[in-house]
Amino acid sequence: MSRYADREQAGRRLAHALGHYAGRPNVIVLGLPRGGVLVAAEVATSLQAPLDVFTVRKLGVPWNRELAVGAIASGEVAVFDHDAMQQLGITMADMADVIAHEERELARRDALFRGGRGPLALSERTVIVVDDGLATGATMTAAVDAIRSLGATRIVAAVPVASESACDAMRARADECVCLEVPAPFYGVGYWYDDFHDVSDAEVLAILAEHPPTPNPA
């Protein structure tokens, strides 16, 4: 596959694959901060659907925060890859400091990105959860589990690029999984973007200001 120029281009391509959801009144698009929000904004615009964020933090091993063995999400949801932890010789006690740090960051981002707004009203809604890619899938898994606990009728996991193992796992977990590209070898999410810069809080806030939330449909 060719690389995406940036997350915005990836979002426009992803929106095309999700076109059958356009104009449906019960659909909401949730971006996973921070990079996933740039992709999700393009999807929401194309589908004429409201946009919001759903905060998730991956849990990396103490010596490499990018090597995820779990994730936490809003709603006190935690997901762990116990097989990977066993292979790496990591215990829950070893992860305690990482978990505490990421819980604080989760709370900070929730307060920053969602402000004083109440909990997401997802009951009886079709929720399209968007990220910029899936490597292990831990982050998306935590998001899907948390969103399901909030009463969503249908959950669609949607990403521009994913590893084969993560895409397969997500197909078994979400009601629908859209992975535009599943390259092998995978190399990592960032490899498939020409521009994969670290997205700032300010960028996310600017996008959310352009997509004010709409009330839950009756």
Rounded Cα–Cα distance for residues 114 and 69 (Å): 27
- pLDDT for res 69: 87
Least confident of 61-70, 100-109, 154-163: 61-70
Under 8 Å between Cβ of 148 and 128: no
Condensed to tens digits (0 to 9), the pLDDT of residues 2-54 reads: 799 999 999 999 999 999 999 999 999 999 999 999 999 999 999 999 999 99
CATH number at residue 47: 3.40.50.2020
Q: Report whether the peptide linkage leading into residue 185 is cis, meaning its omega lies within 30 degrees of zero.
A: yes
Whether 88 is covered by a domain: the verdict is: no
Whether 124 is covered by a domain: the verdict is: yes
pTM: 0.87
Whether 78 is covered by a domain: the verdict is: no
Q: What is the mean pLDDT of residues 171-185?
A: 96
Domain that includes residue 148, residue range: 7-57+120-210
Whether 100 is covered by a domain: the verdict is: no
Rounded Cα–Cα distance for residues 134 and 154 (Å): 20
Whether 65 is covered by a domain: the verdict is: no
- Residue linked to tokens 């790496």: 88
Under 8 Å between Cβ of 34 and 204: yes
Whether 185 is covered by a domain: the verdict is: yes
Whether 108 is covered by a domain: the verdict is: no
Q: Is the pLDDT of residue 108 over 50?
A: yes
Q: Is the pLDDT of residue 205 over 50?
A: yes
Question: One-letter amino acid identity for 77?
Answer: V
- pLDDT for res 47: 96
What's the burial of 104, exposed, middle or buried (CB within 10 Å: 0-12/13-18/19+)?
exposed
Whether 194 is covered by a domain: the verdict is: yes
Return the SS3 of 180.
strand
Condensed to tens digits (0 to 9), the pLDDT of residues 118-142 reads: 667 898 999 999 999 999 888 898 8
Rounded Cα–Cα distance for residues 171 and 175 (Å): 7
Under 8 Å between Cβ of 39 and 31: yes
Q: How many domains does the chain have?
A: 1
